[in-house]
Structure 1
């Protein structure tokens, strides 16, 4: 499968790409667990609309909507409470011991967890990287209503930096929304200290990049296009200024060629891409589960750009300015977002970022 229409946006759902409703810098969706500072309960978290959910104790049985939420729980040390996931990570997609732990988690669905299976899972918490399944076609089934979640005894927690991105009022230009997701998830699961450690590590990486590249003016920065190869080549899907990828590109010292698009994702035309003639192109492909598989996918994406009449004349293509960085750690909330900032900066500013 190459693409899927989701909430009005064409997005590949092979692995993790999320669309939905809100979250980003200045969006008003920064609510973290209200008791996070003390590390105690009760903890109150909010969703994309600001509705509150109070947790009297740490959840014991968790279902994750996809591999990104699963990875965060594993990194927080709460992976032993995950009883199932949708969109599972491919073998080898996560580093080291995280991968071994992830492979032990029951796969409830290779895509969206069916409504009946989710409600009957026995979970007391569902962590939702996506916003709503209501707009998804293709026989994925309906998402449970809030009333059905309550009846099944399942609380729901959104990763708002992606699930809420489309509702954001301002562009995403930093990782505060991702950091807040990690902080909130740590508060809810009783792993706040580990959450603080993860956030501190992310900030150290990003701050190092910022110090190295300095404060170049926006129009002096090289332009950058995220080529979502797995979303399909017939009509490209752009990452817009509400998407976390826009923040990563900005923090790395580049300028998203679709930063003027006030959305998270948007279908554009190849004529739009050509008119913006990016200096750099990221070959965004989903993790294939092995280094060889990833290399093959990156090669295919590059070959397509070099062979397509509409794109072979682009500056980045002619000069071979490609970045081979996976989609998941660019467009989905996670600790590796900070690594992506560093990797982009190293590629486009090699004289400054070592």
Structure 2
């Protein structure tokens, strides 16, 4: 009898331990005793990760979209039952007012280092935070951006919300799709590529820790700012001219359109000798394609087709 009781106790302990799911989030480990039921995501790309995993019914809203960007038809359909709780970054009060138990955000994707909304400031209120992997470079040493960062987030979300099979299948499908495309892709010497996000006096661009670096490499190019030890940040036009990009990738969002950004570069005498300008080689990625999320695979295809032809 004593042996049976001990065995039962051990089995119960093991069962309770198994009930908790622990994932790595940047430099932290976060344990979830049960899947969140009142989740909030920030930004379009993070929200799409939630939607592609079928988690809308576990959400009470989203934040940080309409203040900068617009939703396409797919996104509008996905979140039509959910309120936008804040047009830009949410305050702590917004998250508490929604009675959230989970916040999917990132550093400079809804949270600022030293800001009022961080994993540490939300913990006392029972709101657990999972951080976008690409954004971890703002608080810890990290390898340069990789499509694996996006896969990692989908797989971790799958574990957090107990939809592991769906996440595994989704990532396996993305891997296979990209592998098939890469097998059929004929490239030459890697093209020199500049990512033009915004700014006229000084350009805001993607460095080695931002997702476009990985997308460009997968498409057969090289980000001319690959040695820029930043994620998204400002450089000088002099640096861009010196590195002479052969292609410019424009990130489309905000009040200044992609066409206006192209016109600015095409009409400015300072850029007249750039190979990209001389040959009018511009390609546009929507913000939701250029940042980590489900549309990264199609973004690689868009870039590769622009670099090397259909």
TM range (shorter): 0.7 to 0.9
Report how far residue 223 of structure 1 moved: 0.7
Report how far residue 208 of structure 1 moved: 2.3
**Count of residues paired in the alignment:** 289
* CA deviations over 1:244-300 (Å, ceiling 9, x no partner): 111110011001111111221332111110111111011211178xxxxxxx81221
Partner of 2:102: 125
Instruction: Tell me the distance in 1 between the aligned counterparts of 2:239 and 2:306.
Output: 24
Report how far residue 94 of structure 1 moved: 4.9
Instruction: Tell me the distance in 1 between the aligned counterparts of 2:125 and 2:71.
Output: 34
1:67 paired with 2:44, answer yes
- Within 5 Å, which residues of 2 pair with 1:327-346? 327-330=287-290, 332-346=291-305
Which of residues 135, 144, 152 is equivalent to 2:125?
152
Partner of 2:10: none
SS of 1:108's partner is: strand
Partner of 2:217: 250
Instruction: Tell me the distance in 2 between the aligned counterparts of 1:152 and 1:46.
Output: 21
> What TM-score do the two structures reach when normalised by structure 1?
0.75
Which region of structure 1 is more displaced relative to structure 2, 232-241 or 124-133? 124-133
Structure-2 change in CA distance of 1:135 and 1:54 (3 Å)? closer
**Contact 1:65-1:130 at 8 Å conserved across structures:** no
- Within 5 Å, which residues of 2 pair with 1:186-201? 186-201=158-173
Which of residues 275, 278, 286 is equivalent to 1:315?
275
Unaligned runs of 5+ in 1: 1-39, 289-295
Q: Of Structure 1 and Structure 2, which has the larger fraction of its residues in strand?
A: 2
Instruction: Tell me the distance in 1 between the aligned counterparts of 2:186 and 2:19.
Output: 42
Which of residues 219, 237, 247 is equivalent to 1:270?
237
Instruction: Tell me the distance in 1 between the aligned counterparts of 2:101 and 2:95.
Output: 11
- Within 5 Å, which residues of 2 pair with 1:280-291? 280-286=247-253
Instruction: Tell me the distance in 1 between the aligned counterparts of 2:203 and 2:111.
Output: 22
SS of 1:184's partner is: helix
- Within 5 Å, which residues of 2 pair with 1:73-84? 73-84=50-61
Q: Of Structure 1 and Structure 2, which has the larger fraction of its residues in helix?
A: 2
**Contact 1:87-1:110 at 8 Å conserved across structures:** yes
Report how far residue 85 of structure 1 moved: 1.5
Give the CA RMSD over aligned residues. Answer: 2.3
1:43 paired with 2:43, answer no
Structure-2 change in CA distance of 1:104 and 1:118 (3 Å)? same
- Within 5 Å, which residues of 2 pair with 1:1-354? 41-49=19-27, 51-88=28-65, 92-95=71-74, 98-130=75-107, 133-135=111-113, 142-144=116-118, 146=120, 148-161=121-134, 163-166=135-138, 167-172=140-145, 174-213=146-185, 220-229=189-198, 232-286=199-253, 297-330=257-290, 332-350=291-309, 354=310
**Contact 2:246-2:276 at 8 Å conserved across structures:** yes
Structure-2 change in CA distance of 1:159 and 1:134 (3 Å)? closer
Instruction: Tell me the distance in 2 between the aligned counterparts of 1:222 and 1:101.
Output: 36
Report how far residue 214 of structure 1 moved: 5.9
Instruction: Tell me the distance in 1 between the aligned counterparts of 2:304 and 2:112.
Output: 38
> What TM-score do the two structures reach when normalised by structure 2?
0.85
**Contact 1:223-1:280 at 8 Å conserved across structures:** yes
**Contact 1:205-1:342 at 8 Å conserved across structures:** no
Ranked by relative contact order (alpha carbons within 8 Å, sequence separation 6 or more), the top structure is: 1
Unaligned runs of 5+ in 2: 1-17
Report how far residue 310 of structure 1 moved: 1.7
Instruction: Tell me the distance in 1 between the aligned counterparts of 2:31 and 2:119.
Output: 18
Q: Which has the larger radius of gyration?
A: 2
Structure-2 change in CA distance of 1:109 and 1:237 (3 Å)? same
**Contact 1:280-1:323 at 8 Å conserved across structures:** yes
